[in-house]
Structure 1
Amino acid sequence: MTATASNPSPTGLDLQQAAKDHLWMHFTRMSAYEDAPVPIIARGEGCYLEDINGKRYLDALAGLFAVQIGYSHGEEIGAAVAAQMQELPYYTNWSYAHPRAIELAKEIADLAPGDLNRVFFTNSGSEAVESAWKLARQFHTANGERRWKAIGRDVAYHGATMGALSINGVAPIRTPFEPLVPQVGHVRNTNRFRRPEGETEEQFTQFLLDDLEHRILSEGPETVAMVIMEPVQNSGGAFTPPAGYFQGVRALCDEHGILLCADEVITAFGRIDGWFASEHYDIKPDLITMAKGMSSAYASIGAVVASDRVAEPFLHGAESFMHGLTFGGHPVQTAIALKNIEIMKRERVVEGVAERTAAFRQTLSQLLELPIAGDLRGTGFFFALELVKDNETNATFTDDEAEKLLRGFLSERLYDAGIICRADDRGDPVVQISPPLVAGQAEFDEIAGILGEVLGEASRLVGH
Structure 2
Amino acid sequence: MTLTEHSPAATGRASAAWGHLWPHFTRMSAGTGPVITRGEGAYVWDDRGRRVLDGLSGLFVVQAGHGRRELAQVMAAQAEELAYFPVWGYATPPVVRLAERLADAAPGDLDRVFFTTGGGEAVESAWKVAKQYFKLTGRPLKHKVISRAVAYHGTPQGALAITGLPAMKQQFEPLTPGGFRVPNTNIYRAREHGDDPVAFGRWAADRIEEAILFEGPETVAAVVLEPVQNSGGCLTPPPGYFQRVREICDTYDVLLVSDEVIGAFGRHGTTFACEKFGYAPDIVTCAKGMSSGYAPIGAMITTERIVEPFLRGKTIFPHGYTFGGHPVAAAVALANLDIFDNERLNQRVLDNEAAFGATMRKLLDLPIVGDVRGDGYFWAVELVKDKTTKQTLDADERERLIRGFLPQALFDNGLYCRPDDRGDPVVQVAPPLICGQPEFDEIERILRHTLTEATTLL
Counterpart CA distance in 2 for 1:193 and 1:159 is 25
Equivalence for 2:72:
78
Give the one of 150, 155, 169 matched to 2:164.
Answer: 169
Partners of 1:20 and 1:137 in 2: how far apart? Answer: 41
* 2:344 is the alignment partner of 1:348: yes
Within a 5 Å distance, the mapping from 1:361-400 to structure 2 comes to 361-400=357-396
Match of 2:243 in 1: 247
CA distance in 2, matches of 1:433, 1:176: 29
Residue 325 of structure 1, CA deviation? 1.0
Give the Cα separation in 2 of the matches to 1:198 and 1:51.
Answer: 44
Please give the alpha-carbon distance, in whole angstroms, between the structure 2 residues aligned to 1:459 and 1:21. Answer: 35
**1:152 aligns to 2:168 (yes or no):** no
DSSP 3-state at the match of 2:146: strand
- Give the corresponding residue for 1:123: 117
Tell me, in whole angstroms, the C-alpha distance in 1 between the residues paired with 2:45 and 2:15: 19
1:358-437 equivalent positions in 2, closer than 5 A: 358-437=354-433
Q: Name the counterpart of 2:177.
A: 182
Assess if the C-alpha contact under 8 Å between 2:372 and 2:381 holds in 1: yes
Q: Among residues 302, 309, 312, which one is paired with 2:308 in the alignment? A: 312
1:6 maps to which residue? Answer: none
Partner of 1:11: 9
The one of 104, 109, 113 equivalent to 2:107 is 113
Paired letter, 2:246: R
Matched residue type, 1:111: A
How many pairs are equivalent? 452
Partner of 1:7: none
- Counterparts of 2:303 and 2:356 in 1: how far apart (Å)? 34
Distance (whole Å) between structure 1 residues aligned to residue 11 and residue 227 of structure 2 = 44
Counterpart secondary structure, 2:293: coil
Instruction: Give the residue type in structure 1 aligned to 2:161.
Output: S
Query: Greater CA deviation, 397-406 or 253-262?
Result: 397-406
Q: Which residue of 2 aligns with 1:31?
A: 29
Q: TM-score, normalising length from structure 2?
A: 0.96
Partners of 2:325 and 2:194 lie apart in 1 by 50
Question: After superposition, what is the alpha-carbon deviation per residue over 1:151-203, rounded to whole angstroms, capped at 9, x for unaligned?
Answer: 11000000111111111001100110000001111000000003257632232
Q: Corresponding residue for 1:42?
A: 37
- Of residues 286-295 and 338-347 in structure 1, the stretch that sits farther from structure 2 once superposed is 338-347
Please, what TM-score do these two structures have when normalized by structure 1? 0.95
- Equivalent residue letter for 2:18: K
Q: CA deviation at 1:124?
A: 0.5
Q: 2:129 aligns with which of 121, 130, 135?
A: 135
CA distance in 1, matches of 2:76, 2:444: 39
Supply the distance in 2 between the matched residues of 1:374 and 1:416 (Cα, whole angstroms).
24
Percent identity, aligned pairs only, is 53
Specify the alignment match of 1:269 in structure 2. Answer: 265
Q: Which runs of 4+ in 1 moved over 2 A?
A: 194-199
CA deviation vs aligned residue, 1:80-130 (integer Å, no higher than 9, x gap): 112111221111101111111000001101111100000000001000000
Q: Could you say if the C-alpha distance between residues 13 and 201 of structure 1 is closer, same or farther in structure 2, counting changes exceeding 3 Å?
A: closer
CA offset at residue 324 of structure 1? 1.2
How much is the aligned-residue C-alpha RMSD, in angstroms? 1.5
